[in-house]
Amino acid sequence: MAGRNFLFVPGPTNVPDRILRAMMVAMEDHRSAGFPELTRACIDGLKSLFKTTTGSPIVFPSSGTGCWEAALTNCLNPGDKVLIARYGQFSHLWADMCARLGYEVEILETPWGEGAPLERYRASLTADQEHRIKAVLICQNETATGVASDVHALRQVMDGTKHPALLFVDAVSALGCIDFRMDEWGVDVCVSGSQKGLMLPAGLGVTCVSQKALQAAKSATSRRCYFDYGDMVNSNAAGYFPYTPSLPLLHGLRESLAMLAEEGLENVFARHRYLAGGVRAAVLDGWQLKLCAVAPQWYSNTVSAILMPEGISGADVIVRAFSRYNLSLGAGLSKVAGKLFRIGHLGDLNELMLLGAIAGAELAMLDVGVKIQPASGVAAAQAYWRTHSPAANQAAANPATAARKVATA
Ligand SMILES: *Cc1c(COP(=O)(O)O)cnc(C)c1O
């Protein structure tokens, strides 16, 4: 097919040319005296991204799933109890992993389309007077349903019940797109990966571990070896890795972190919010369709899951979009298979790229019989972007102006 594939799945995301170029490197000796410079640039950049001064960022040669496993096996003892809410395929898979690794799992079953049920977390923690729950797990951005949850509020719930459990956060499809604050929110392990907000190929498990979690890891007896935090932190302290790292991916990571820092994290978040607003305008105002996320409080700024009307399969839209228009949309997973399709709006994107995806989704939907008004999504997204600006953008760039705006608002 002529032209480029339009990649709008919520990971892997588009890799900017600048990162592609940065990854084209000759191999080098990862034990050389020069190597620590690269390691340190990555770790320092990750500290800013995770918003931590005391936590230890760790990069494993894995995808995000490996970091889920590392969090559990490093910090817990066999049979320990964990608490997790399940509201989509990713929170499901993490809960499933907990069970398969032999931990006792208390699952807060939550309708797919809603996010973390804070009052039910509170009830479970309050009931747990003996403090048998050792870790509280939350998926910050459920990629399967396009639902974002409030991690800070969960920390406040934990503090309110004075529960000492560790807090583990899956931020795989949030980090570098939606605000995340390791230290301020008292997160013990944050799990992410390279192929979403970091705009890299898959292959790096990117995680961050608090001092409290590292302390727990010192005595936790679950079996682990390749994913041992201690080995990694000790090697990293000298600028090295306990085994051969992926050199191109580390070069790519350094470039990605530089790009995010140059744009400014707050500007990156504002851009995601603003672009997501245009996509939601297309879905809700233009096409008059529904999102899987049932209320605005749950809307994700990185992925929108669009429910199909009765009698239409989301899978048909996806096949049509790909085979006829060379547009890759995200599929409905598990419980919502066929019921929806997803547009990923995370990473290296702007309005015109998203207009291409919206126009392509519109063509594919019309082709398979969805009764939408032709061009209505494109028009609604355009109207949104013409009347909104990434306001925090200017605010972050110039706090003085922002303060004045608040004062006069
Ligand atoms: C993509 C994703 C994962 C899985 O990460 P892999 O890198 O595919 O292992 C986990 N959680 C969420 C929320 C995700 O979006």
Per-residue pLDDT tens digits for 174-212: 999 999 999 999 999 999 999 999 999 999 999 999 999
**Residue 20 in this model has a pLDDT that exceeds 50:** yes
Nearest atom (ligand 1) to Cα of 194: 7
Residue 189 and residue 241 share a domain: yes
**pLDDT > 90 in the chain, percent:** 95
Nearest CA to ligand 1 atom 6: 64
Residue 173 CA to ligand 1 centre (angstroms): 7
Give the amino acid at 140. Q
Domain boundary among 262, 278, 296: 262
Domain that holds residue 201: 17-262
**Residue 318 in this model has a pLDDT that exceeds 90:** yes
Tally of domains within the chain: 2
CB proximity list for 66: less than 8 A, separation 6 or greater: 60, 205, 227
Per-residue pLDDT tens digits for 320-337: 999 999 999 999 999 999
**Residue 409 in this model has a pLDDT that exceeds 70:** no
Nearest atom (ligand 1) to Cα of 140: 13
Q: Are 138 and 170 in contact (CB under 8 A)?
A: yes
**Residue 394 in this model has a pLDDT that exceeds 80:** no
Please spell the DSSP secondary structure of 63-83, one letter per residue: -HHHHHHHHHHHH--TT-EEE
Residue 250 and residue 284 share a domain: no
What pLDDT is stored for residue 392 in this prediction? Answer: 59
What pLDDT is stored for residue 264 in this prediction? Answer: 96
In a domain? residue 234: yes
What pLDDT is stored for residue 336 in this prediction? Answer: 95
Residue 202 and residue 66 share a domain: yes
Residue 105 and residue 155 share a domain: yes
Q: The CATH number of the domain where 298 resides is what?
A: 3.90.1150.10
Domain boundary among 239, 262, 285: 262
Residue 42 and residue 177 share a domain: yes
Per-residue pLDDT tens digits for 286-298: 999 999 999 999 9
**Residue 248 in this model has a pLDDT that exceeds 50:** yes
Top mutation candidate among 170, 180, 300, 345 for ligand 1, by most atoms within 8 Å of CB: 170
Residue 128 and residue 29 share a domain: yes
Q: Are 346 and 15 in contact (CB under 8 A)?
A: no
**Residue 405 in this model has a pLDDT that exceeds 80:** no
Residue 271 and residue 167 share a domain: no
The CA distance from 164 to 267, in Å, is: 35
Per-residue pLDDT tens digits for 24-62: 999 999 999 999 999 999 999 999 999 999 999 999 999
Nearest atom (ligand 1) to Cα of 63: 7
What pLDDT is stored for residue 1 in this prediction? Answer: 80
Q: What angle do CA 61, 66, 69 make, to 5 degrees?
A: 145
**Residue 130 in this model has a pLDDT that exceeds 90:** yes
Instruction: Measure Cα distances from 33 to 39, 240, 254, 349, 375 in Å.
Output: 12, 10, 18, 38, 58
Residue 269 and residue 245 share a domain: no
Pocket-forming residues, ligand 1, beta carbon under 6 Å: 11, 63-65, 90, 139, 141, 143, 170, 172-173, 193, 202
Residue 25 CA to ligand 1 centre (angstroms): 27
User: How sure is the predictor about 390, in pLDDT bands with cuts at 50, 70 and 90?
Assistant: confident
Cis ω on the peptide bond leading into residue 57 (within 30° of 0)? no
Burial of 339 (0-12, 13-18, 19+ CB in 10 A): middle
Residue 36 CA to ligand 1 centre (angstroms): 29
User: How sure is the predictor about 395, in pLDDT bands with cuts at 50, 70 and 90?
Assistant: very low
Q: The CATH number of the domain where 125 resides is what?
A: 3.40.640.10
Give the amino acid at 72. L
In a domain? residue 1: no
User: How sure is the predictor about 400, in pLDDT bands with cuts at 50, 70 and 90?
Assistant: very low
Residue 330 and residue 191 share a domain: no
- Considering the entire predicted model, what is its pTM? 0.95
**Residue 408 in this model has a pLDDT that exceeds 50:** no
Residue 65 CA to ligand 1 centre (angstroms): 6
Burial of 61 (0-12, 13-18, 19+ CB in 10 A): middle
Residue 90 CA to ligand 1 centre (angstroms): 7
The dihedral region occupied by 114, where left means phi > 0, alpha psi between -120 and 50, and beta the remainder, is beta
* Average pLDDT of the residues in 337-357: 98
What pLDDT is stored for residue 403 in this prediction? Answer: 46
CB proximity list for 92: less than 8 A, separation 6 or greater: 86, 334
Residue 235 CA to ligand 1 centre (angstroms): 26
Residue 172 CA to ligand 1 centre (angstroms): 5
* Average pLDDT of the residues in 350-377: 98
- Tokens of residue 104, six digits: 């006792």
Residue 231 and residue 133 share a domain: yes
